Amino acid sequence: MGDRSAIEWTEATWNPVTGCSKVSPGCAHCYAESISLRFGHSKKAWIPQNALENVRLHHDRLDQPLRWRRPRAVFVNSMSDLFHELVPEHFIAEVFRRMAAADRHTFQVLTKRPKRMREVVRNLYDQYGEFGGQPLANVWLGTSVENSRFTNRADALRETPAAVRFISAEPLLGPIAADLDLAGIDWVIVGGESGPHYRSMRPEWALELRDQCIEARVAFFFKQWGGRTPKAGGRELDGRLWDEQPAVASTAKIATR
């Protein structure tokens, strides 16, 4: 955690929550679990039965972004999931209040639990009347989609109030372009899995998504091919780098009910 990150699509990480539990095939070789177990931050595997021991709230970290003077893109909870079932709604509200206060930064929140995100964020903006009922312009909300079984996560994301909505297809474990609706989506990140037990990504899966994004005028970011190490396969797709970013100048969008 800190004001520097090696992740290509962000600049810093902020972890007011650590620990998680696995919910889908993309979690199988979770880098965050490996790091947490290696350094003793977690004692047990990140399976649902151990979630009560592994998921931790860090109130002392809430104000960290307020101390960063230089504006930067911040990946929220690179070592957890802000919308995990064990993270109370009032704590999520505190995270959003800090993001609102630190509006010089852009916060990127990624979850594999978009249905809970949809309900909690709607409550923040509507029921609680937070932030004038409008999506925070500096908060981007995203969900992970690793294969065609989980393309419906994009539907819950689409129904979530957000200034920018993005999909992380990493690790991309199968073809998803034919089943993925990009309506209301601003950004797609694609990447292959890395690590000693990596599952290979086929070129056509990435190219199909790239072509779909071009047609839909959605920003496309190719992070890596993956392999035994994150940089093993390089970052070029079809002979070039794809580092597109979403057009944040557009008006913040309220999801249609």
CATH of the domain at 117: 3.80.30
98 is a domain residue:
yes
Task: Tell me what pLDDT residue 248 has.
Answer: 73
Give 212-215's long-range contacts (Cβ < 8 A, gap of 24+): 212/177, 212/180, 212/182, 213/182, 213/188
Nearest CA-CA partner of 67 in 108, 106, 104: 104
Query: Total structural domains in the chain?
Result: 1
50 is a domain residue:
yes
242 is a domain residue:
no
Tell me the pLDDT tens digit for each residue of 109-140: 999 999 999 999 999 998 767 888 899 999 99
pLDDT over 90 percentage in the chain: 88
240 is a domain residue:
no
SS3 137: coil
**Average pLDDT of the segment spanning 1-18:** 88
20 is a domain residue:
yes
Asked if residue 171 has a cis previous peptide bond (ω within 30° of 0), the answer is yes
256 is a domain residue:
no
Q: What is the pTM of this model?
A: 0.94
86 is a domain residue:
yes
Task: Tell me what pLDDT residue 2 has.
Answer: 66
DSSP string, the chain: -BS----TT-SEEE-SEEB----SGGGTT-HHHHHHHHTTS-SS-SSGGGHHHH-EE-GGGTTGGGG--S--EEEETTTB-TT-TTS-HHHHHHHHHHHHHTTTSEEEEEES-HHHHHHHHHIIIIIS-GGGGS--TTEEEEEE--SGGGTTHHHHHHTS-BSEEEEEE-S--S--GGG---TT--EEEEE--BSTT--PPPHHHHHHHHHHHHHHT-EEEEEE--BSSTTTT-S-BTTB--B----TTSPPBPPP-
**Average pLDDT of the segment spanning 192-208:** 96
Range of the domain at 87: 12-224
237 is a domain residue:
no
**Average pLDDT of the segment spanning 93-122:** 97
Q: State the chain's mean pLDDT as an integer.
A: 94
Tell me the pLDDT tens digit for each residue of 226-247: 999 888 899 999 999 999 999 8
Q: What token pair was written down for 179?
A: 């089943």
Tell me the pLDDT tens digit for each residue of 47-75: 999 999 999 999 999 999 999 999 999 99
pLDDT over 70 percentage in the chain: 95
